A and B are shown apart, each in its own frame.
Chain A
Amino acid sequence: MITHDRAYEVLRAAQETGADFAELFMEDTRANNITVTRGEVEDAASSHRHGAGIRVFAGIRTAYAYTADTSRGALLETARAAAAAIRGDGGTCAPFSPRDCRVIPRIPFADVRNDRRVKIARDAYDGAAGYSSEIVQAMTDCIDVDSDILVCNTEGVFARDRRCRMRLFVRAVASDGKSTQTGHEGPGYGMGFEGFDRIDAADVGKRAAECAVTMLHAPECPAASLPVVIDGGFGGVIFHEACGHSLEATSVSRGNSEFCGKLGMKVAADCVSAVDDGTMPGEWGSLRIDDEGTPTRRNLLIEHGILRGYLVDRLGGLRMNMPVTGSSRRQNYTYAPTSRMTNTFILPGEDDDDAMIADCPEGLYAKSMGGGSVNPLTGEFNFSVSECYWIRDGKILTPVRGATLIGRGTQVIARIDRVGKTMTMGQGMCGSISGSIPTNVGQPRIRVSELTIGGKGGNL
């Protein structure tokens, strides 16, 4: 992608105004997306993203510049544009220690003809459309991304990685002529095209359709404040929103998190332990190295309710005087990296899944989640529930539609009173200041003793 000599020249140009640290990130990404709607291939698009970003530090002050032109002249100009923004006391540039983490996938996307992508998208479509006559539309996307990246810096890092990921995304729409409901599923892996062997496309389509049809016949969810049982898989988005974002150095290092200064303190119930693990092979949120060239690792966040760690990037680490955790990520070269999550989940506990519902006089069972968001300063979060059921007298009474869960992060993790034995994960795209990145959320089935449930229904 670039020779050592050229990289050295660019980094030195970035240090011309005295930066104590400079970093060059280069990227060459190819992506394909096939969309099937109404049973037909509607869109087929390919993209090739290519560019470089240069970051300089003078203490904790930083500047970032990027360019789509990676010629020598453009890289030097970009390096100087970043340098122009800071004044430092000067820094050195260590000799590079090359590290090549690239792994060739078993089936590279470039070797795959479009008809194989079309078959997957069509199978998913048929699975959804064939589920019920009430399915009036399904839209399926077969997506693959192959990214070749290089990170080098003035501390001797010169790291290459190749990141492949693929995903099948299905949205199903059910209607009875009067009202309409939707369901979605989006399994994906950090693998080459062989990852699709792990996915039963027709079944993915069917599950999205099943959710839409179930919700179509469900009454509106009542507004209430009650116990909520949340399933594993994408249910883990509750920890991601209620807690994960607030543990990122982006918020913590500036005092904008309700978890500031709480390391070693009790922040959650005893039954709650959680990690962020970027090393899990082939998972959607995994990376071998982060976007600063640091190897990823398994970071313990909460252990039996005690706060044990944050997610720390280089800048956050400087501000907080803490080591980096392999958590620095960005959507692409047009973003400076910052601390982000990878695969974040609550560890398995000892409680029985069925008893969580059986022991509940009245509450909500959230089987499948939509997305959410959080304000890390106050911990206020919200997320939508895509498939859920009302519990009465320890039994499922009826599916209900249109539920939203809200609360404050520290309150909610303190109120988790049951954690099941089997952890599963779900795939999402997480948005923050360094763009949209693939992350896994996960947990076993859990119960929160009380949450505010938003819905527009009345008595059931």
Chain B
Amino acid sequence: MSFETFRDTIFTLARDHGAQAELYYVEGDTFTVRIDRQEVDSYTVAKSGGVGLRVQHDRRDGYAYTESFDNPHELFNKAFDNAGTISASDEHPMNGAQVYQDVREPENPTLSLTAAEKIELAKALERAALAADPRVERVAYDIISTQRASTRICNTRGLDAYQTEGFSYCYVSPVMRDGDELRDDAAYRVNAETTDVEGCAQEAVRNTARQFGGKPVAPGKYRVLWENVSLAELLSAFTPMFSAERAQHNMSPLKDKEGRKVAGEVTIIDDPLYPKYPRAFDAEGTPSITKTVVERGVLKTLLHNLKTAKKAGCASTSNASRRSAGSPVDVSPSQFYIAPGEVPYTELVKTLGEGLIIRDVMGLHAGVNAVTGEFSLLAKGALVENGAEVRPVEQITVSGTFLGMLEQTEAVGNDLKFGLPGSSVCGAPSMVFGSLMVSGK
């Protein structure tokens, strides 16, 4: 059955039951090719689609999701039944019709390449990595991927919002050997830069080669220069702290901290319209709003959807999200980044003077606790003495609290960089922090 017929049937059922209904429909296609030794190693093409239904009855929301468009009655009944299960009484408003800014997607020529051209691009990426350094033994991963996704949100209150997004990336991970030492690392390029296979390969090889000879440092407190890409990953793992939903549930160290100093001289911005991955609206159809979340250390606002905003007595910050079309409405940042400063990277190393550069952390899904704000992570990087890098460092852990670390900000770099996008995308410049606990041998 067509989406329109499916929608109309659901909306009629909702009216008959004295309920409101909202459909969240996603559809997309994906292309991924992995090259191994100049041959297509694996190849994935897909079309996917699914619809999440939220039924609101008696101020309670129930959810159901399906990928099969043949039974709107079953979907409605599931969601209606789920709504009857809810006992929490927080009101969760639904948007009516909205007006959106015209959002223009950045140019991305990779999206219009043919499959054969994308395969050639991926092969060129592998060749570039193999040629970049004689110590490159092979390439463990070499991938090009393109995706198109569209989202449509419509409800019985008159909302009908539609947007499409394109996305592409290339990713390469070389394996390098120097004597008995084996190392790997990776680099990627996204969207318009996907075709920069040479730059991507060079960066991946540089990231890998600089690890040779790495060893731990003695345990203790160290001054730290945390590099942009890795710091963006750390910020990403801590984003739940900024959710009003989490704060209202006593699950964020930022609960009741609005208007108070929570970090050092750091500014954090959430901008759904930032030209990298601009979007017109969030997962509830609220028009995008740019806001400063932390201004020079002061928490200006938490991130809200319609439900948390109603409870807090403010307006939604356009941060409604759904982990997938079947998940209940939650809160997440959009394009969330630490505002860059003016210090070039080379100056940051001099500012650090004595300490550690952190370039890579592992175990973010386990070693970060966004409820307590603490982290303890396996890390790699380099030792710095007298303002100069002296040797690589690995097999150490760095531990601290995220806000405590920001409190000790000493310098902010001018090299803002964004990580790979998920449901949100985070960015950070490289930064120097006063003190962090390090364990090693």
User: Which residues of A are interface residues toward B (Cβ below 8 A)?
Assistant: 34, 37-38, 40-51, 60-69, 78, 81-82, 84-86, 114-115, 117-118, 136-137, 139, 171, 173, 175, 179-182, 223-225, 254-256, 334, 336, 370-373, 375, 377-378, 380-384, 402-404, 406-408, 431, 452-457
Distance (whole angstroms) from the CB of A176 to the closest CB of chain B? 12
Q: Which of B39, B138, B397 contacts A404 (CB 8 A)?
A: B397
B439 near A452 with CB under 8 A, answer yes
| Interfacial chain B residues near A452, Cβ < 8 Å | 216, 395-397, 439-441
Known: A38-B249, A403-B376, A406-B395. A45 touches B327 (CB 8 A): yes
| Interfacial chain A residues near B184, Cβ < 8 Å | 256, 375, 377-378
| Interfacial chain A residues near B373, Cβ < 8 Å | 180
Known: A44-B63, A114-B82. A223 touches B50 (CB 8 A): no
B85 near A62 with CB under 8 A, answer no
Is B164 an interface position by the 8 A CB rule? no
| Interfacial chain A residues near B41, Cβ < 8 Å | 60-62
Is B79 an interface position by the 8 A CB rule? yes
Distance (whole angstroms) from the CB of B276 to the closest CB of chain A? 26
Contacts beyond the supplied A38-B88, A86-B43, A377-B182: 20 A-B pairs with Cβ under 8 Å: A41-B86, A43-B61, A43-B86, A44-B86, A45-B62, A46-B82, A48-B75, A61-B39, A85-B40, A137-B251, A179-B372, A256-B184, A371-B363, A382-B362, A382-B363, A382-B378, A406-B397, A452-B216, A452-B440, A455-B399
User: Which residues of B are interface residues toward A (Cβ below 8 A)?
Assistant: 33, 36, 39-50, 61-68, 74-75, 78-79, 81-89, 115, 138, 140, 175, 182-184, 216, 219-220, 249-251, 253, 326-328, 362-363, 365-367, 369, 371-374, 376-378, 394-400, 437-441
A380 near B378 with CB under 8 A, answer yes
| Interfacial chain B residues near A40, Cβ < 8 Å | 86-89
A-B contact pairs, 13 of them (CB 8 A): A40-B89, A45-B327, A48-B67, A63-B44, A65-B44, A82-B43, A82-B45, A85-B40, A114-B84, A223-B438, A377-B140, A380-B394, A454-B398
Known: A44-B85, A223-B399. A371 touches B366 (CB 8 A): yes
Known: A45-B82, A224-B439, A456-B399. A336 touches B44 (CB 8 A): yes
B249 near A139 with CB under 8 A, answer yes
Distance (whole angstroms) from the CB of A24 to the closest CB of chain B? 15
B44 near A50 with CB under 8 A, answer no
A63 near B42 with CB under 8 A, answer yes
Q: How many A-B residue pairs have CB under 8 A?
A: 238
B85 near A48 with CB under 8 A, answer no
B65 near A404 with CB under 8 A, answer no
Distance (whole angstroms) from the CB of B355 to the closest CB of chain A? 16
A69 near B47 with CB under 8 A, answer yes
Distance (whole angstroms) from the CB of B390 to the closest CB of chain A? 22
- Interface pairs A-B: 8 shortest CB-CB: A454-B397, A223-B439, A371-B366, A44-B82, A382-B378, A456-B437, A40-B88, A456-B399
A402 near B42 with CB under 8 A, answer no
Q: Which of A62, A137, A381, A384 contacts B42 (CB 8 A)?
A: A62
Distance (whole angstroms) from the CB of A53 to the closest CB of chain B? 8
| Interfacial chain B residues near A173, Cβ < 8 Å | 250-251, 371
Distance (whole angstroms) from the CB of A31 to the closest CB of chain B? 8
| Interfacial chain A residues near B87, Cβ < 8 Å | 40-41
Known: A50-B68, A137-B251. A223 touches B437 (CB 8 A): yes
| Interfacial chain B residues near A407, Cβ < 8 Å | 395
| Interfacial chain A residues near B216, Cβ < 8 Å | 452
Distance (whole angstroms) from the CB of B139 to the closest CB of chain A? 10
Known: A46-B79, A377-B182, A452-B440. A404 touches B399 (CB 8 A): yes
* Cα separation A336 to B30 with both chains bound (whole Å): 14
| Interfacial chain B residues near A139, Cβ < 8 Å | 249, 251
| Interfacial chain B residues near A336, Cβ < 8 Å | 42, 44
| Interfacial chain A residues near B82, Cβ < 8 Å | 44-46, 114
| Interfacial chain B residues near A255, Cβ < 8 Å | 138, 175
| Interfacial chain B residues near A371, Cβ < 8 Å | 363, 365-366
Q: Which of A45, A68, A372, A452 has the most CB of B within 10 A?
A: A45
| Interfacial chain A residues near B63, Cβ < 8 Å | 43-46
A68 near B251 with CB under 8 A, answer no
| Interfacial chain A residues near B33, Cβ < 8 Å | 85
Distance (whole angstroms) from the CB of A352 to the closest CB of chain B? 30
| Interfacial chain B residues near A380, Cβ < 8 Å | 362, 378, 394-395
Q: Which of A37, A115, A453 contacts B85 (CB 8 A)?
A: A115
A225 near B42 with CB under 8 A, answer no
Q: Which of A37, A67, A223 contacts B219 (CB 8 A)?
A: A223
* Cα separation A375 to B42 with both chains bound (whole Å): 21
| Interfacial chain A residues near B376, Cβ < 8 Å | 384, 402-404, 454-456
* Cα separation A115 to B68 with both chains bound (whole Å): 27
Question: Across the two chains, which residue of chain B brings its CB closest to A408?
Answer: B395
| Interfacial chain B residues near A223, Cβ < 8 Å | 219-220, 397, 399, 437-440
| Interfacial chain A residues near B182, Cβ < 8 Å | 377-378
Q: Which of B43, B251, B400 has the most CB of A within 10 A?
A: B43
Distance (whole angstroms) from the CB of A125 to the closest CB of chain B? 11
A67 near B437 with CB under 8 A, answer no
Distance (whole angstroms) from the CB of A59 to the closest CB of chain B? 10
| Interfacial chain B residues near A60, Cβ < 8 Å | 41
Distance (whole angstroms) from the CB of A261 to the closest CB of chain B? 13
A118 near B67 with CB under 8 A, answer no
Question: Across the two chains, which residue of chain A brings its CB closest to B380?
Answer: A380
Distance (whole angstroms) from the CB of A75 to the closest CB of chain B? 12
| Interfacial chain A residues near B394, Cβ < 8 Å | 380
A384 near B395 with CB under 8 A, answer no
Question: Across the two chains, which residue of chain A brings its CB closest to B82?
Answer: A44
A41 near B399 with CB under 8 A, answer no
Question: Across the two chains, which residue of chain A brings its CB closest to B34?
Answer: A62
B140 near A180 with CB under 8 A, answer no
Q: Which of B44, B47, B371 contacts A180 (CB 8 A)?
A: B371
Distance (whole angstroms) from the CB of B256 to the closest CB of chain A? 11
* Cα separation A452 to B27 with both chains bound (whole Å): 47
| Interfacial chain A residues near B40, Cβ < 8 Å | 61, 63, 85-86
Distance (whole angstroms) from the CB of B267 to the closest CB of chain A? 25
* Cα separation A38 to B78 with both chains bound (whole Å): 24
Question: Across the two chains, which residue of chain A brings its CB closest to B436?
Answer: A456
* Cα separation A455 to B367 with both chains bound (whole Å): 11
A42 near B362 with CB under 8 A, answer no
| Interfacial chain B residues near A182, Cβ < 8 Å | 369, 371-372
B45 near A81 with CB under 8 A, answer yes
A256 near B140 with CB under 8 A, answer yes
Distance (whole angstroms) from the CB of B273 to the closest CB of chain A? 30
Question: Across the two chains, which residue of chain B brings its CB closest to A223?
Answer: B439
* Cα separation A179 to B328 with both chains bound (whole Å): 30
